[in-house]
Amino acid sequence: MQIAVSGLLVQKGHTVVEASDGNGLLVLANATQPHRPAPQAGAGAQPPVQT
């Protein structure tokens, strides 16, 4: 079960670390931001928004 959960979290873009807690495995997941490529200059490109 832990392998399936870990695999699903990785597919969704999370960083997963498995550690033994003595009674089995403890899955620790950390949310990560997906990498989005920078927009290309040209038709339809929007300038970056400054905040």
For residue 26, which of 7, 2, 1, 8 has the smallest C-alpha distance? 2
For residue 32, which of 48, 17, 44, 49 has the smallest C-alpha distance? 17
**Residue 44: per-residue pLDDT:** 60
For residue 18, which of 36, 31, 5 has the smallest C-alpha distance? 5
CA 33 to chain centre: 6
3-state secondary structure of 24: coil
Q: What pLDDT digit, counting tens, does each position of 30-44 carry? A: 666 666 666 665 556
Q: Write out residues in the chain with pLDDT < 70, as ranges.
A: 1-2, 20-48, 51
Beta pairing partners, 18: 27
